[in-house]
Amino acid sequence: GQNIDQPTEMTATEGAIVQINCTYQTSGFNGLFWYQQHAGEAPTFLSYNVLDGLEEKGRFSSFLSRSKGYSYLLLKELQMKDSASYLCVTMDSNYQLIWGAGTKLIIKP
């Protein structure tokens, strides 16, 4: 079956670095997305990886290893506004999106 695993909740300190892991099993693979969702708001796009390696975009980076079925989202220089849920999403061979339940990130001063 198709499955995405990511931690339910993580806590980090303002100014620090945090890594949110995601492992997946899908029927075929056409890429992996990360979305950010603040409480009570809509998800917003952060990144898309289809090839192995690290994609850097400002304070956020996303890594993919297709052979391991593994991705992580790295957030540097954490700010209070980074408190949100981070959704790992894969795309299967039929280009259907499979959404993880999300990791709630709590930032403490």
Cα radius of gyration rounded to whole Å, the chain: 13
Min dist. Cβ of residue 16 to other proteins (A): 27
Residue closer to other proteins, measured from CB, 16 or 97: 97
Report the residue number, 46 or 74, with the smaller CB distance to other proteins: 46
For residues 75 and 103, which CB has a smaller minimum distance to other proteins in the complex? 103
Residue 101 CB, shortest distance to other proteins, in Å, is 5
The nearer residue to other proteins, 24 or 78, going by C-beta atoms, is 24
74-87 core/surface letters (b: 16 or more CB in 10 A; e: else): ebeebeeebbbbbb
Q: Report the interface residues with other proteins, using CB under 8 A.
A: 4, 30-31, 33, 35, 40-45, 48, 50, 87, 89, 91, 95-102
> Residue 65 and residue 17: Cα distance in Å, rounded?
21
What is the layout of strands, in order, in the sheet containing 3-5?
A: 3-5, 18-25, 70-75, 60-65, 53-57
User: Minimum Å distance from CB 42 to other proteins?
Assistant: 4
**Is 24 in a helix, a strand, or coil?**
strand
